[in-house]
Chains A and B, each alone.
Chain A
């Protein structure tokens, strides 16, 4: 009797241990492969991140002359290589297998960089978030959105379907997308060039004197909200769309240019706000262009 109980207890113990072991192994396998690396830099560093799998990239700045890269791969089917060559940090994430499930082919990155840093970031479907970085940057994404906050420099953003949200940005901005939207708020940009085929564009902010602003959408809405203190020449044109000018009172006839900018294939609005110091050109092939003064 005693011996039978002991045997039963042993079997239960062994079975329990086995179950625990299996559970532990599964947990270990599901844990993302995470790593953190530190790179000392001297001058203004360049960080190049090529993420050819899915994943999010987050970049923030600090005052230390050091770049910290924290990466987490969702599975062992993703390889992450990081290399430093002088002040250049190269980061590559790639898939090790031909076909992986979307959640497996994922690598997320968190970077902390000096305030003065140049960035070249590329990902497929994750968000790219950059905050408080001063330096030229080129950000590319297929379907992921790009969020920029308090960044300055020559900023180039290219997406296929991802949208751009840019707040408190300064410098020069170029955005190209097929279906992504662009939302620019409180900018201090002196050169803006936005182009999206079907997305919408919203520019809510001041136009810097001598600045040049071009916003074009094939089928989407182009909306500009300016302040009463702004000073710019405006040209808004559409081929088959509409121009909704809600700032008629502020828009005077343009004294700087020839008015014959329309024909039978394009219609638009030309005028000057203030002294016309900046230059604003808006176009939409078949969408709506809306011009209004913000409250």
Chain B
């Protein structure tokens, strides 16, 4: 048997009991002995890892909320982590404040981007819910226009867009009575979840590493928090205010990115 043939055998059979020819070659070939030893060590190390890593609770909660909201599941099935924690969870607890927060921010960022991308089909088209015609708010020749006080009872249909995403022009949809579009429970749950994760991440921020940059980042975090609070308050009063929702989404995304930068900045120095 040659070295390549032994490699093929190891590839197929693993490091378990080897055929006689393979064992004979292995006994006389120092290179293959080294290779076999390395392979054995790798396999041994791999076996030390847990077979499966459960995602955090919030992933299940968020998933369940979304599935329930979309009517895919109805029963109150027990969802959560297994009762007995594996041995490695003690180690993960040690890293929880930073690493999980960072991962949380990352997951959040991805989720936000997904939602953001999914919600940019075209320019917003608003139809009044009722069939009766409504006066146009759009003005083409006014000098100064102020936004009116919103009326929570009035429901509108809005094709969403992000305030800063590229928008694609779409043909004008046919006129006619449109259905109401309220924010879905999953969307509201998502926003609540987002705020929670970001808040936790903010509390777990590491200490300053670059004083000047850190001061700037903290000042901007404060700015973002104020803006988020403003949007949230308005959205609470007017859940169908799509523009506020879009700006809130962008603010959440910016906050997630900022927190990630702040954590990376602090971690790199410690």
- Asked if A243 and B243 make an inter-chain contact with CB atoms under 8 angstroms apart, the answer reads no
**Per a CB cutoff under 8 Å, which of A54, A194, A212, A259 touches B166?**
A212
In the assembled complex, which residues on chain B have CB atoms less than 8 Å from the CB atom of A245?
139, 141-145
Instruction: Compute how far the CA of A241 lies from the CA of B163 in the bound complex, rounded to whole angstroms.
Output: 15
A interface, over-half SS = loop
Task: Note all chain B residues with C-beta closer than 8 A to A102.
Answer: 210-212
Rounded to whole Å, the gap between the CB of A15 and the closest CB of chain B is 39
Contact, CB under 8 Å: B223 / A52: no
Residues of B within 8 A of A252 (CB): 140
Q: Please, what's the 1-or-0 string for A225-268, where 1 marks a CB less than 8 Å from any CB in chain B? A: 00000000001011111111110100111100111111111111
In the assembled complex, B200 has its CB within 8 A of some CB on chain A: no
How far apart are the CA atoms of A274 and B226 in the complex, in Å?
Answer: 40
A285 nearest in chain B by CB position: B247
Q: Any chain A CB within 8 A of the CB of B220? A: yes
Shortest C-beta distance, B61 to chain A (Å), equals 29
What's the Cα separation between A195 and B166 when bound, in Å? 12
Chain B interface residue number, banded: 35 or more
| A95 touches B (CB below 8 Å) | yes
Is B223 within 8 A of A197, CB to CB? yes
| Structural contact, A269 and B164, CB atoms closer than 8 A | no
Do B223 and A269 touch (CB < 8 A)? Answer: no
A200 to nearest B CB, angstroms? 14
Q: Are B158 and A214 in contact (CB under 8 A)?
A: no
Query: A-B contact count, CB below 8 Å?
Result: 191
| Interface contact B217-A286, CB-CB below 8 Å | no
Would you call A176 an interface residue if the criterion is a C-beta within 8 Å of the partner chain's C-beta atoms? Answer: yes
Chain B hits for A259, CB < 8 A: 136, 138
Verify if B32 is at the interface (C-beta below 8 Å from A).
Answer: no
**CB–CB B172/A258 < 8 A:** yes
Say whether, besides A124-B210, A267-B147, A219 and B140 are in contact (CB < 8 Å): no
- The reply to whether the CB of A134 lies closer than 8 angstroms to some CB of chain B is no
B258 A160 Cβ-Cβ under 8 A: yes
Which residues of B are found within 8 Å of A53, using beta-carbon distances?
210
Residue A143, interface by CB 8 Å: yes
Indicate whether B102 reaches chain A with its CB closer than 8 angstroms.
no
B137 contacts across to A, CB distance below 8 A: 262-264, 266-268
Contact check: which of B227, B234, B244, B270 meets A198 at CB < 8 Å? B227
Map CB proximity to B onto A268-295 as digits: 1 under 8 Å, 0 otherwise.
1111000000010101011000000000
Residue of A nearest to B269 (CB): A98
- What residue in chain A is nearest B219 (Cβ atoms)? A161
Which residues of chain A come closer than 8 Å to B184, judged between CB atoms?
none
**25 A-B residue pairs with CB within 8 Å:** A52-B210, A52-B265, A54-B210, A124-B210, A143-B212, A160-B261, A176-B254, A178-B220, A178-B224, A193-B164, A197-B224, A216-B163, A218-B251, A239-B234, A245-B139, A245-B144, A248-B142, A257-B172, A261-B124, A261-B138, A264-B151, A265-B242, A268-B137, A283-B243, A286-B230
Other contacts beyond A263-B126, A281-B123: 12, CB < 8 A: A95-B209, A105-B210, A242-B147, A244-B144, A245-B143, A251-B141, A258-B125, A261-B138, A264-B150, A266-B147, A267-B147, A279-B169
Minimum-distance CB pairs A-B, first 10: A195-B164, A143-B216, A262-B137, A124-B213, A265-B241, A216-B163, A263-B126, A178-B220, A258-B172, A267-B147
